[in-house]
A and B are shown apart, each in its own frame.
Chain A
Amino acid sequence: MSLAPSAYMADDSDIVARVLDGEHGAIARMLTQVERRTPAVNDLLAALHHATGRAHVVGVTGPAGSGKSTLVAGLAAAYRRTGRSLGILAVDPSSVITGGAILGDRIRMSDLGSDPDVFIRSMATRGALGGLSRAVLDGVSVLDAAGMDVVILETVGVGQAEVDVISVAQTIAVVSVPGLGDEVQAIKAGLLEIADIHVVNKSDRPGADRTVAEIRDVVRHSPHREGQWKVPIQQTVASSHEGIDDLMRIFDDHAAWLAGNGARTDSHRRNAATRIRWAAEELVLGRFRTGDTAFDAAVETVVSRQSDPVSAARKLIAGPIANC
C-alpha cells in the first residue's frame, strides 16, 4: 500500500473547470494545493482569477470559545434561507510543538449537513506551507471562483498573523462575550480598529449589558469621520439562534455601504497589491539561491571583485524571470 507521491496530485487536469463548476471534490483538492503550495498552484490560481471578486467575504474573529463556530453555523443557515450559497473557511491554531491540531469547528456546523450549496473547510495554522495569510487569501479566492455568494472566514483573534489573515475580509465581525475580564479587553484592543461590526455573543449570560456598554464606550471614543461606516454592536445568543438574522442583515448593509462608497474596490485593490507583492517576492527569491546558474555566476563575479553585490543583484533582477 504505497502510492508514489505523484499519485496524490495526479488526475487534476480538469480541476480548474470543475472548481468553476462548484464541484466539491475539486474545490477540496484545490484548497489542498493552496495549503501545500504545490508547484502547479500558481498556474491553477491564475486560471481561476478571472472568476473571482464576486463573493462577499465576511470575517468572524474573537477569542476561543466565544461561540464563533456556532455563530457561523447560524449565519450559514440564515444565508441559505435567502437562497445564497456559501463557503466557510475555519482557521484553527495548531500545536507549535508537534504541528498537530484538533480542528473542531465542524462540530458546531453539523446542522448544515450535506447541503450542496455549503462548503466547509478547516485549516490548521501550521498546515499552511508558505504562510497562513497567503493560504487563506488563496483559499478565499478558490471559494469565490467556485461561485460562492458569501465566504465566511473564522479565525481566533490572537496575534498579528491572525489580524493579517482576517484583513482579507471585506466585512469583519469581532466577537466578544460577557464576563471574560481584562484579558479579553486586551485582545479587543488589537482587533478594535479592524471591526466593522461588534458582536456580543452569549448575551444570555449575566454581564452582557456591561460588555455592550464597554464596547460602546470604546467605539464612541474612536475617531469617526463624516460619511464613514458607523460600527454597530449586535447582541446574539448563537446557541439559540437569537440575533443571527439581524447580524446577517447588518453584514448585507455593510456590503451595500462598501459598494456605494467605493470601499469594495479599495479592498480589492489592497488584495491585489498584497498578491502582486507576494508573487514578486516568490519570483525574485526563487532565482536568488545557490544552485541557480545565473545566481552562482553572480556570486563568482562578486567574490572575484569583477562586480559588487548591488550591481550583481540589479543585473539578476533585470534578467529574464523563468518559471515560477
Chain B
Amino acid sequence: MSQTVSNREIPIRVMLAKIGLDGHDRGVKVVARTLRDAGMEVIYTGLHRSPDQVVAAAVQEDVDVLGVSLLSGAHMSIFRRIFDLLDALPEPHRFTLLAGGVMPDEDVEELHRLGVAAVLGQDTPPESIVETVLRMVPVRSR
C-alpha cells in the first residue's frame, strides 16, 4: 500500500505528549517537525504532563494518533494508567496509541498486549515514524 501525503485531503491529527519527569523534548520536537512537514497537524502538549491531562487533551482534540514519549523508565505504570483512563471514557476512544522511548523487549510485548499499536525506539529515524503513522491511519474520504 503506497499512499503519499498529498492524496489525503484531510490532514492526519497527531498528539505528541511527554509524560512524567524526564525533561528532554528535543527528540519529540524533531518528530513534531517531521510530521508537520509530511502534512500532518501536530499538537504538542509540552513537558511534564500527567496521564489524565494527556487523555483529556487527546479526546478534546479528536486526534487520529496519540504518541507518548517516555524516557523516565516509568513507562509501564504510566501506560497502565492511560489505559485505565481510556477504559473509563463514556465510549471507546478512536485514536491509535504509539509509544516512544527506550524499554526492554518484554515491556514492548506487554505494551502491545495492553493496546499500544507500535513502540518506536529512541533512534527510530523520523521518516519511519511518518511511515508508521501513515500506516496506522486509513485514508478518509469526507
> Contact size class for B?
35 or more
Q: Known contacts A2-B138, A28-B59; decide if A106 and B38 are in contact (CB<8 Å).
A: no
Q: Mark B15-46, 1 if CB is under 8 A from A, else 0.
A: 00000000000000000110111111111111
Interface residues of B in 80-136 (CB under 8 A from A): 89-91, 94, 117, 135-136
Q: Known contacts A24-B59, A113-B53, A121-B61; decide if A8 and B36 are in contact (CB<8 Å).
A: no
Complex Cα gap A94–B5 (Å): 15
Pair count A-B, CB < 8 A: 112
Query: Is A322 in the interface zone, CB < 8 Å from B?
Result: no
CB <8 Å contact, A94 and B142: no
Query: Is B141 in the interface zone, CB < 8 Å from A?
Result: yes
Complex Cα gap A119–B59 (Å): 10
Q: Known contacts A100-B37, A113-B56, A120-B57; decide if A1 and B44 are in contact (CB<8 Å).
A: no
List chain A residues, Cβ under 8 A from B56. Answer: 24, 113-114
CB <8 Å contact, A100 and B11: yes
Complex Cα gap A106–B42 (Å): 11
Q: Which of the residues B13, B39, B46, B138 comes within 8 Å of A106, measured between beta carbons?
A: B46
CB <8 Å contact, A95 and B46: no
List chain A residues, Cβ under 8 A from B94. Answer: 8
CB <8 Å contact, A1 and B45: no
Query: Is B66 in the interface zone, CB < 8 Å from A?
Result: no
CB <8 Å contact, B41 and A5: no
CB <8 Å contact, A129 and B10: yes
Complex Cα gap A280–B38 (Å): 36
List chain A residues, Cβ under 8 A from B70. Answer: none
Query: Is B55 in the interface zone, CB < 8 Å from A?
Result: yes
Max count, chain A CB within 10 A of own CB: residue among B46, B94, B117 = B94
Cβ of A317 to closest chain B Cβ, rounded Å: 26
CB <8 Å contact, B46 and A107: yes
Complex Cα gap A106–B53 (Å): 11
List chain A residues, Cβ under 8 A from B45. Answer: 106-107, 110
Complex Cα gap A108–B90 (Å): 27
Cβ of A283 to closest chain B Cβ, rounded Å: 18
Cβ of A277 to closest chain B Cβ, rounded Å: 23
Cβ of A98 to closest chain B Cβ, rounded Å: 5
Query: Is A103 in the interface zone, CB < 8 Å from B?
Result: yes
Query: Is A102 in the interface zone, CB < 8 Å from B?
Result: yes
A-contacting residues of B (Cβ < 8 Å)?
A: 5, 9-11, 13, 32-33, 35-46, 49-50, 52-53, 55-57, 59-62, 89-91, 94, 117, 135-136, 138-142
B-contacting residues of A (Cβ < 8 Å)?
A: 1-5, 8, 11, 23-25, 27-29, 31-32, 36-39, 94-95, 98-104, 106-108, 110, 113-114, 119-122, 124, 126-127, 129
